[in-house]
Structure 1
Amino acid sequence: MTSAPHPSIAPPAVTATEQSRSALRLRLRPKALTTGHVDGAWWPRSRDLAAELPALLAVLAVRLGDIPRMSYNLTEWDTAPRQIAADGLRVRLNGFWSRPAHTVDLIASDRRRLTLLLVPPDTEPSAAHHAMTCAAEQENIDTVEVLLRGTAGRMSTADPLGAGSSRAPEQISQGVR
Protein backbone atom coordinates (compact mmCIF):
# COMPACT_ATOMS: atom_id res chain seq x y z
CA MET A 1 0.00 0.00 0.00
CA THR A 2 1.32 3.43 -0.84
CA SER A 3 0.47 6.57 0.97
CA ALA A 4 -0.21 9.96 -0.46
CA PRO A 5 0.87 13.29 0.94
CA HIS A 6 -1.69 14.72 3.34
CA PRO A 7 -3.72 17.48 1.68
CA SER A 8 -3.28 20.76 3.44
CA ILE A 9 -5.68 23.64 3.74
CA ALA A 10 -2.81 26.01 4.44
CA PRO A 11 -1.33 28.24 1.74
CA PRO A 12 1.10 26.43 -0.59
CA ALA A 13 4.16 28.11 0.92
CA VAL A 14 4.81 29.75 4.24
CA THR A 15 7.81 31.99 4.69
CA ALA A 16 9.65 31.05 7.83
CA THR A 17 11.66 34.03 8.92
CA GLU A 18 11.71 33.98 12.71
CA GLN A 19 14.35 31.74 14.19
CA SER A 20 13.94 30.24 17.63
CA ARG A 21 15.46 32.35 20.38
CA SER A 22 16.33 29.23 22.32
CA ALA A 23 19.06 26.78 21.50
CA LEU A 24 18.08 24.02 19.10
CA ARG A 25 17.63 20.70 20.86
CA LEU A 26 19.45 18.41 18.46
CA ARG A 27 22.01 15.65 18.76
CA LEU A 28 23.70 14.09 15.73
CA ARG A 29 25.99 11.14 15.35
CA PRO A 30 29.51 12.05 14.33
CA LYS A 31 30.12 12.18 10.59
CA ALA A 32 31.22 8.65 9.77
CA LEU A 33 29.82 5.45 8.38
CA THR A 34 27.10 4.41 10.77
CA THR A 35 24.55 1.69 11.18
CA GLY A 36 21.24 1.74 12.97
CA HIS A 37 17.83 3.24 12.59
CA VAL A 38 18.50 6.94 13.21
CA ASP A 39 21.29 9.46 12.65
CA GLY A 40 20.54 11.47 15.74
CA ALA A 41 17.61 13.04 17.58
CA TRP A 42 15.59 16.23 17.54
CA TRP A 43 13.42 17.48 20.41
CA PRO A 44 11.23 20.30 19.11
CA ARG A 45 9.48 22.65 21.53
CA SER A 46 6.05 22.39 19.88
CA ARG A 47 4.04 20.44 17.34
CA ASP A 48 4.06 23.38 14.89
CA LEU A 49 6.29 22.07 12.10
CA ALA A 50 6.39 25.34 10.17
CA ALA A 51 7.68 27.15 13.27
CA GLU A 52 10.16 24.46 14.37
CA LEU A 53 11.72 23.45 11.05
CA PRO A 54 13.65 26.60 9.98
CA ALA A 55 16.08 26.44 12.92
CA LEU A 56 16.67 22.73 12.29
CA LEU A 57 17.29 23.30 8.58
CA ALA A 58 19.76 26.11 9.29
CA VAL A 59 21.87 23.88 11.54
CA LEU A 60 21.69 20.80 9.31
CA ALA A 61 22.68 22.83 6.24
CA VAL A 62 26.22 22.82 7.66
CA ARG A 63 26.31 19.04 7.25
CA LEU A 64 24.02 18.44 4.27
CA GLY A 65 23.88 21.69 2.30
CA ASP A 66 20.48 22.65 0.93
CA ILE A 67 17.63 20.50 2.21
CA PRO A 68 14.71 20.87 -0.20
CA ARG A 69 12.62 18.02 1.19
CA MET A 70 11.43 16.69 4.51
CA SER A 71 9.05 13.82 5.28
CA TYR A 72 7.23 13.18 8.51
CA ASN A 73 4.40 11.20 10.11
CA LEU A 74 1.16 13.17 10.08
CA THR A 75 0.24 12.14 13.62
CA GLU A 76 3.32 13.85 15.08
CA TRP A 77 2.51 17.42 14.03
CA ASP A 78 -0.33 19.89 13.89
CA THR A 79 -1.46 20.81 10.38
CA ALA A 80 1.53 21.88 8.30
CA PRO A 81 1.81 23.62 4.94
CA ARG A 82 2.98 21.70 1.88
CA GLN A 83 6.12 23.78 1.77
CA ILE A 84 7.93 26.55 3.57
CA ALA A 85 10.52 29.05 2.47
CA ALA A 86 13.55 29.06 4.74
CA ASP A 87 16.67 31.10 4.00
CA GLY A 88 15.53 31.62 0.41
CA LEU A 89 15.01 27.91 -0.26
CA ARG A 90 11.62 26.28 -0.73
CA VAL A 91 11.39 23.16 1.37
CA ARG A 92 8.74 20.62 0.43
CA LEU A 93 7.07 19.01 3.46
CA ASN A 94 5.71 15.53 2.82
CA GLY A 95 3.36 14.22 5.46
CA PHE A 96 2.36 10.55 5.34
CA TRP A 97 0.13 8.40 7.50
CA SER A 98 2.39 5.41 6.82
CA ARG A 99 5.65 7.18 7.69
CA PRO A 100 7.33 5.59 10.75
CA ALA A 101 6.24 7.32 13.95
CA HIS A 102 8.72 9.44 15.89
CA THR A 103 11.04 10.02 12.95
CA VAL A 104 11.64 12.70 10.35
CA ASP A 105 13.68 12.35 7.16
CA LEU A 106 15.57 15.31 5.77
CA ILE A 107 16.71 14.89 2.17
CA ALA A 108 19.52 17.04 0.77
CA SER A 109 19.80 18.25 -2.81
CA ASP A 110 22.39 15.53 -3.51
CA ARG A 111 19.93 12.93 -2.10
CA ARG A 112 21.84 12.34 1.13
CA ARG A 113 19.37 11.64 3.89
CA LEU A 114 19.31 12.07 7.64
CA THR A 115 16.74 10.21 9.69
CA LEU A 116 16.21 11.76 13.08
CA LEU A 117 14.47 10.39 16.12
CA LEU A 118 11.66 12.80 16.93
CA VAL A 119 11.40 13.16 20.68
CA PRO A 120 7.86 14.36 21.46
CA PRO A 121 7.78 17.99 22.67
CA ASP A 122 6.00 17.06 25.90
CA THR A 123 8.66 14.59 26.99
CA GLU A 124 10.09 15.13 30.47
CA PRO A 125 13.52 16.79 30.08
CA SER A 126 15.70 14.06 31.62
CA ALA A 127 13.97 11.37 29.54
CA ALA A 128 14.38 13.45 26.39
CA HIS A 129 18.05 14.03 27.15
CA HIS A 130 18.59 10.29 27.64
CA ALA A 131 16.84 9.36 24.38
CA MET A 132 18.76 12.01 22.44
CA THR A 133 22.11 10.97 23.89
CA CYS A 134 21.51 7.30 23.05
CA ALA A 135 20.31 8.11 19.52
CA ALA A 136 23.48 10.10 18.80
CA GLU A 137 25.93 7.41 19.94
CA GLN A 138 28.18 6.23 17.12
CA GLU A 139 27.49 2.52 17.62
CA ASN A 140 23.78 2.80 18.45
CA ILE A 141 21.58 0.28 16.62
CA ASP A 142 18.47 0.63 18.79
CA THR A 143 15.08 0.98 17.15
CA VAL A 144 12.98 4.10 17.60
CA GLU A 145 10.73 2.18 19.99
CA VAL A 146 13.67 1.15 22.18
CA LEU A 147 15.11 4.67 22.19
CA LEU A 148 11.78 6.14 23.32
CA ARG A 149 10.81 3.34 25.69
CA GLY A 150 12.34 5.12 28.66
CA THR A 151 10.41 8.30 27.85
CA ALA A 152 6.92 6.73 27.77
CA GLY A 153 6.34 6.81 31.49
CA ARG A 154 8.03 10.16 31.97
CA MET A 155 6.01 12.49 29.78
CA SER A 156 5.24 15.92 31.19
CA THR A 157 1.61 16.70 31.89
CA ALA A 158 2.17 20.24 33.14
CA ASP A 159 3.05 21.70 29.73
CA PRO A 160 1.44 19.49 27.06
CA LEU A 161 3.22 21.14 24.13
CA GLY A 162 6.49 21.73 25.91
CA ALA A 163 6.49 25.27 24.56
CA GLY A 164 6.90 27.01 27.88
CA SER A 165 9.30 24.63 29.52
CA SER A 166 12.29 26.38 31.01
CA ARG A 167 13.42 23.24 32.87
CA ALA A 168 14.83 21.53 29.82
CA PRO A 169 18.56 21.00 29.58
CA GLU A 170 19.47 22.72 26.36
CA GLN A 171 20.99 20.47 23.74
CA ILE A 172 23.13 21.95 21.04
CA SER A 173 23.97 20.18 17.86
CA GLN A 174 26.90 17.83 18.06
CA GLY A 175 28.89 16.34 15.27
CA VAL A 176 28.02 19.14 12.83
CA ARG A 177 31.14 20.29 11.09
Structure 2
Amino acid sequence: MTSAPHQSIAPAAVTATEQPPHHQLRLRLRPKALTTGYVDGAWWPRSRDLAAELPALLAVLAVRLGVVPRVSYNLAEWDTAPRQIAADGVRVRLNGFWSRPAHTLDLIAGDRRRLTLLVVPPGTDPSAAHETMMCATRRDNADTVADLFRTGAQAAEGSTVDSPEAEGGRIPQQKTKEAE
Protein backbone atom coordinates (compact mmCIF):
# COMPACT_ATOMS: atom_id res chain seq x y z
CA MET A 1 0.00 0.00 0.00
CA THR A 2 1.40 3.36 -0.98
CA SER A 3 0.43 6.72 0.36
CA ALA A 4 0.03 10.04 -1.34
CA PRO A 5 2.72 12.69 -0.95
CA HIS A 6 2.52 14.53 2.34
CA GLN A 7 1.65 18.22 2.08
CA SER A 8 2.46 20.44 5.00
CA ILE A 9 -0.22 22.77 6.25
CA ALA A 10 2.33 24.99 8.01
CA PRO A 11 2.79 28.44 6.47
CA ALA A 12 5.87 28.97 4.37
CA ALA A 13 8.83 30.45 6.21
CA VAL A 14 9.33 34.15 5.68
CA THR A 15 12.90 35.18 5.08
CA ALA A 16 14.34 38.51 6.09
CA THR A 17 14.46 39.61 2.46
CA GLU A 18 10.70 39.05 2.09
CA GLN A 19 9.81 41.18 5.09
CA PRO A 20 9.31 44.88 4.42
CA PRO A 21 11.83 47.06 6.23
CA HIS A 22 10.48 48.46 9.48
CA HIS A 23 10.72 52.23 9.67
CA GLN A 24 9.20 54.57 12.16
CA LEU A 25 6.29 56.42 10.57
CA ARG A 26 7.12 60.09 10.09
CA LEU A 27 3.78 61.55 11.13
CA ARG A 28 2.73 64.37 13.43
CA LEU A 29 -0.86 65.30 14.25
CA ARG A 30 -2.24 68.42 15.82
CA PRO A 31 -3.78 67.94 19.24
CA LYS A 32 -7.48 67.18 19.18
CA ALA A 33 -9.19 70.54 19.45
CA LEU A 34 -11.42 72.81 17.45
CA THR A 35 -10.32 72.58 13.85
CA THR A 36 -8.72 75.68 12.37
CA GLY A 37 -6.34 76.17 9.49
CA TYR A 38 -5.64 74.16 6.38
CA VAL A 39 -4.12 70.94 7.75
CA ASP A 40 -4.62 68.62 10.72
CA GLY A 41 -1.11 67.22 10.71
CA ALA A 42 1.91 66.42 8.58
CA TRP A 43 3.26 63.24 7.01
CA TRP A 44 6.69 62.71 5.48
CA PRO A 45 6.54 59.52 3.39
CA ARG A 46 9.73 57.75 2.36
CA SER A 47 8.76 57.34 -1.31
CA ARG A 48 6.28 58.49 -3.97
CA ASP A 49 4.63 55.04 -4.01
CA LEU A 50 1.27 55.80 -2.42
CA ALA A 51 0.10 52.17 -2.41
CA ALA A 52 3.23 51.13 -0.48
CA GLU A 53 3.20 54.07 1.95
CA LEU A 54 -0.50 54.16 2.90
CA PRO A 55 -0.99 50.90 4.84
CA ALA A 56 1.34 51.95 7.69
CA LEU A 57 -0.24 55.42 7.79
CA LEU A 58 -3.78 54.01 7.86
CA ALA A 59 -2.87 51.54 10.63
CA VAL A 60 -1.64 54.38 12.87
CA LEU A 61 -4.55 56.69 12.04
CA ALA A 62 -7.11 53.97 12.76
CA VAL A 63 -6.74 54.84 16.45
CA ARG A 64 -7.97 58.38 15.78
CA LEU A 65 -10.32 57.89 12.80
CA GLY A 66 -11.33 54.25 12.78
CA VAL A 67 -11.65 52.63 9.37
CA VAL A 68 -10.59 54.88 6.47
CA PRO A 69 -12.26 53.65 3.28
CA ARG A 70 -11.29 56.61 1.08
CA VAL A 71 -8.16 58.68 0.43
CA SER A 72 -7.92 61.69 -1.91
CA TYR A 73 -4.59 62.88 -3.25
CA ASN A 74 -2.95 65.08 -5.89
CA LEU A 75 -2.02 63.01 -8.96
CA ALA A 76 1.11 65.06 -9.72
CA GLU A 77 2.78 64.23 -6.42
CA TRP A 78 2.63 60.44 -6.47
CA ASP A 79 3.69 57.66 -8.80
CA THR A 80 0.83 55.89 -10.57
CA ALA A 81 -1.38 54.27 -7.94
CA PRO A 82 -4.13 51.67 -8.21
CA ARG A 83 -7.75 52.74 -7.72
CA GLN A 84 -7.90 50.77 -4.48
CA ILE A 85 -5.68 48.94 -2.01
CA ALA A 86 -6.27 46.53 0.84
CA ALA A 87 -5.06 47.74 4.23
CA ASP A 88 -5.64 45.53 7.27
CA GLY A 89 -8.41 43.70 5.42
CA VAL A 90 -10.22 46.92 4.47
CA ARG A 91 -10.62 48.00 0.87
CA VAL A 92 -9.47 51.62 0.58
CA ARG A 93 -10.49 53.61 -2.48
CA LEU A 94 -7.78 55.96 -3.77
CA ASN A 95 -9.10 59.06 -5.51
CA GLY A 96 -6.47 60.98 -7.43
CA PHE A 97 -7.28 64.45 -8.74
CA TRP A 98 -5.28 66.98 -10.75
CA SER A 99 -7.24 69.76 -9.02
CA ARG A 100 -6.51 68.52 -5.48
CA PRO A 101 -4.49 71.06 -3.45
CA ALA A 102 -0.75 70.42 -3.73
CA HIS A 103 1.07 68.68 -0.87
CA THR A 104 -2.10 67.50 0.87
CA LEU A 105 -3.80 64.17 1.42
CA ASP A 106 -7.38 63.76 2.66
CA LEU A 107 -8.31 60.68 4.64
CA ILE A 108 -12.08 60.19 4.88
CA ALA A 109 -13.28 57.93 7.68
CA GLY A 110 -16.30 55.63 7.48
CA ASP A 111 -18.33 58.15 9.52
CA ARG A 112 -17.31 60.90 7.03
CA ARG A 113 -14.85 62.62 9.35
CA ARG A 114 -11.98 64.05 7.33
CA LEU A 115 -8.34 64.46 8.24
CA THR A 116 -6.18 66.61 5.95
CA LEU A 117 -2.45 66.02 6.13
CA LEU A 118 0.34 68.16 4.79
CA VAL A 119 2.54 65.84 2.69
CA VAL A 120 6.22 66.71 2.94
CA PRO A 121 7.92 65.45 -0.25
CA PRO A 122 10.13 62.37 0.33
CA GLY A 123 13.37 64.03 -0.83
CA THR A 124 13.06 67.05 1.47
CA ASP A 125 16.08 68.02 3.57
CA PRO A 126 15.59 66.44 7.04
CA SER A 127 15.92 69.76 8.90
CA ALA A 128 13.41 71.51 6.66
CA ALA A 129 11.02 68.53 6.84
CA HIS A 130 11.20 68.45 10.63
CA GLU A 131 10.59 72.19 10.98
CA THR A 132 7.73 72.11 8.45
CA MET A 133 6.07 69.26 10.33
CA MET A 134 6.48 71.06 13.65
CA CYS A 135 4.93 74.25 12.23
CA ALA A 136 2.01 72.32 10.71
CA THR A 137 1.12 70.67 14.02
CA ARG A 138 1.03 73.74 16.24
CA ARG A 139 -2.31 73.95 18.00
CA ASP A 140 -3.05 77.44 16.63
CA ASN A 141 -1.70 76.84 13.12
CA ALA A 142 -3.74 78.59 10.43
CA ASP A 143 -0.95 78.85 7.82
CA THR A 144 -1.48 77.90 4.19
CA VAL A 145 0.44 74.96 2.77
CA ALA A 146 2.84 77.33 0.95
CA ASP A 147 3.43 79.31 4.17
CA LEU A 148 4.18 76.10 6.10
CA PHE A 149 6.88 75.06 3.63
CA ARG A 150 8.37 78.55 3.58
CA THR A 151 8.40 78.83 7.39
CA GLY A 152 9.87 75.33 7.77
CA ALA A 153 12.66 76.04 5.28
CA GLN A 154 13.49 79.37 6.93
CA ALA A 155 13.56 77.82 10.40
CA ALA A 156 15.76 74.96 9.18
CA GLU A 157 18.33 77.40 7.81
CA GLY A 158 19.01 78.62 11.34
CA SER A 159 19.28 75.21 13.00
CA THR A 160 20.46 71.65 12.56
CA VAL A 161 18.55 68.52 13.49
CA ASP A 162 20.18 65.11 13.89
CA SER A 163 17.13 63.33 12.53
CA PRO A 164 13.47 64.16 12.01
CA GLU A 165 12.61 61.21 14.23
CA ALA A 166 14.91 62.44 17.00
CA GLU A 167 13.31 63.73 20.12
CA GLY A 168 14.57 66.98 21.52
CA GLY A 169 14.21 69.30 18.56
CA ARG A 170 16.94 71.74 17.57
CA ILE A 171 20.62 71.57 18.30
CA PRO A 172 22.00 75.08 18.77
CA GLN A 173 24.19 76.24 15.94
CA GLN A 174 27.82 76.69 17.00
CA LYS A 175 29.50 80.02 16.36
CA THR A 176 32.60 80.05 14.26
CA LYS A 177 35.50 82.46 14.67
CA GLU A 178 34.52 84.14 11.40
CA ALA A 179 31.02 84.84 12.72
CA GLU A 180 32.31 86.53 15.89
Over the aligned positions, Cα root-mean-square deviation in angstroms equals: 2.0
Residue 86 of structure 1 deviates from its aligned partner by: 0.5
TM-score (norm 1): 0.76
Structure number with greater CO (CA < 8 Å, separation at least 6) is 1
Tell me: CA distance 1:171–1:142, structure 2 relative to 1, closer, same or farther (3 Å). Answer: farther
For residues 1-177 of structure 1, the aligned pairs below 5 Å read 21-150=22-151, 168-170=163-165
Residue 34 of structure 1 deviates from its aligned partner by: 2.2
In 1, are the aligned partners of 2:130 and 2:152 still within 8 Å (CA)?
Answer: no
In 2, are the aligned partners of 1:123 and 1:151 still within 8 Å (CA)?
Answer: no
Q: Amino acid of the residue matched to residue 140 of structure 2?
A: E
Structure 1 segments, 4+ long, off by >3 Å, are 150-153
Question: Identity percentage over the alignment?
Answer: 75
Which blocks of at least 5 consecutive residues in structure 1 are unaligned?
1-17, 154-166, 173-177
TM-score (norm 2): 0.75
CA offsets 1:122-171 (integer angstroms, 9 cap, x no match):
10001000000010111000000000124669xxxxxxxxxxxxx74227
Rg larger for: 2
In 2, are the aligned partners of 1:20 and 1:55 still within 8 Å (CA)?
Answer: no
Which blocks of at least 5 consecutive residues in structure 2 are unaligned?
1-18, 155-161, 168-180
Q: Amino acid of the residue matched to residue 170 of structure 1?
A: E
